[in-house]
Amino acid sequence: MKRTLTILLIVMSLGFIQDIKAQCSICTKTAQQLGHKPAKELNNGIIYLMIAPIAIIGFVGYRWYKSGGLEPGQDQSNETHGTSS
């Protein structure tokens, strides 16, 4: 149930995005000189190219988060600083 709700919220939030500007100021000025349609297509291309690196970083971060947990009974302070027995 929780997973379904999370996916539903993500899809709904993506649906409400009206216009994302992904260009730096220099690219925006250059694209505006070309006209409205080329500027919009350049912006869409930039956003399309950003999807893969963000997805990869998200996947690696998720896997790191899932595998980095402590086992029950372990103390975090002993894990990072070691014990002096």
Q: How far is CA 60 from CA 3, 25, 47, 55, 76, in A?
A: 19, 31, 20, 9, 23
Whether residue 43 contacts residue 20, with contact meaning beta carbons closer than 8 Å, is answered with yes
Q: Is the Cβ–Cβ distance between 48 and 20 less than 8 Å?
A: no
Q: Identify the DSSP state of 18.
A: -
Domain ranges in the chain? Answer: 21-65
Tokens at residue 23, please?
Answer: 């260009």
> Which residue has better confidence, 28 or 16?
28
- pLDDT(81) > 60: no
Which residue, 35, 34, 36, 40, is CA-closest to 22? 40
Q: According to the model, what pLDDT value does residue 56 have?
A: 93
pLDDT of residue 38: 83
pLDDT in tens, 23-73: 677 877 887 888 888 888 888 888 888 888 999 998 998 888 888 855 555
pLDDT: is 82 or 14 the higher one?
Answer: 14
